[in-house]
Structures are given as structure tokens and as C-alpha cells.
Amino acid sequence: MYNLPSPQIEGEILAYIPFGDIVYYFSPYTLVLFIFALTFTALAILSRPEKQVDIAFGGDAYYTKEIPEKQMRFQRFMAISCGLATMAGVTTGDIFNFTLLTAMVGICNIGIVASVKNKHVLDNAYEYGILAMIGTLPLFGAAAIILATTGTLSLWEIFTPAVSVPVIAKALLVIGVIGEGMAPVYVAKAEITRAPGAPYVLMIHVSSLLMFLRVVEIIISM
């Protein structure tokens, strides 16, 4: 019943967890991605935020910027949600579930960036937000076209050779994930990596990277 039709892509199935119509699974490939996401979520839970150091000119004085307690808690919440969404996203066995989780990763990334109180960073967060919002159309559009043309949403069925997915759906799925995973570009532009609260920013990069790796696997297997 639950066998991956082409084990040369991501290996044999290790385990599966059925939730009704949505069946999650671990293959060697998704297991590695899952462990990555788990590690970085644990880091976000455990680590303390960095404090930016400013050095005063003309003397030995330096001081650290204080991060408000509330902002730290909020960023940690967003980073952990993002980690959980990524963990689910890399192991899911349903195309619509995958697109929803990608959208959730996008919103969490907006949240992590938007909490920094800096006009430049906020500008970038807004630009990214617009991109993430219009990016949901290719995502859900791809899932809807796949549902209409193949009659199923389950990756187990879609991966079988008998089911052929139209090119437009594959391309839209990839461009949708690119739209939601574009955050690192804006993060680098805004230099938020050097802004207060740095460990949580790591989650943006990790989640985008893992979602990309996962969508590549899905597209190849289709």
C-alpha cells in the first residue's frame, strides 16, 4: 500500500504516520531534512539572543543594545512556529498540506523580520510580505490544478508513473515555494543578520532551504 514508486530518488520508505487522508512519511531523504529542522528548532528554544555591541568613538567605552523582553519572546515564538511548520512540511505526504505549511513558513518569516524596530528592516519586511502574499496563488493554484487533472492530492498516488502531472502545475509549485522562501534575500538586504535577536534569524534561512530541498524532491518524483 504505502510504497514509494521510485526508491532511487529518496530511498525506501522507513515509516509512515497516517492522519486520515494525509499520510506523513519518513524516507532517508526526508528524515535527514527533518533532523535538520529539529536541530535548529531546538537551538531556537535553547539559545539566548545576541546583543549588538556599539563602540563609542574616542574612548574605550562600549555598550550593548538591550533587546526588549517582549520582542525576544515574540521572535522566539515565531522561530519555533517556523521550525514546527518546517518539520511538518518536509515530511508531509499530501500536496495541499505541503502548500499550506509553506504558506505558514512564509508568515512566520515575515513575523521574525517585522519585529525588529527599524524603518529599513520594516520596509524590507513589507516588500517580502507582498511577495509572500502573491506567492500563495502559484502554490494553491498548483495544488488545485493537480487535484483537477489527476483527481488526487496524495503524493503517494501522484508519484506513481500512471499519474501524470501537467508541466504548468509543477512550474507553479516551484515558483510558489520560491516566492515564500525569498526571505533570505530581503534579510541579507536589510542586514537584519546583524540586528538584535540574531539566533532567530537563522530559522529564516534554514526553513527556506529545507522547503526548497523538499519541493525539488517532490517535483523530481512527480
CB of 80 to other proteins, least distance (A): 11
Looking at the DSSP bridge assignments, the partners of residue 94 are 154
**Pairing of the two strands 22-26 and 53-55:** unpaired
Taking the least distance from each CB to other proteins, the nearer of 34 and 186 is: 186
Q: Which residues contact 192 (CB under 8 A, 6 or more apart)?
A: 113, 116, 121, 124, 201
Taking the least distance from each CB to other proteins, the nearer of 28 and 130 is: 130
* Contact between 165 and 150 (Cβ < 8 Å): yes
CB of 209 to other proteins, least distance (A): 19
Quote the cell numbers at residue 193: 543578520
- Residue found under cell 519585529: 115
CB of 135 to other proteins, least distance (A): 7
Helix (H, G, I), strand (E, B) or coil at 28: helix
Helix (H, G, I), strand (E, B) or coil at 49: coil
H or E segment at 17? strand 15-19
Q: Which of 35, 21, 167, 168 is nearest to 91 (CA)?
A: 35
Quote the cell numbers at residue 74: 515574540
* Contact between 153 and 146 (Cβ < 8 Å): yes
CB of 43 to other proteins, least distance (A): 20
Taking the least distance from each CB to other proteins, the nearer of 60 and 66 is: 66
What is the Cα 87 distance to its own chain's centre? 9
H or E segment at 83? helix 69-91
Taking the least distance from each CB to other proteins, the nearer of 36 and 74 is: 74
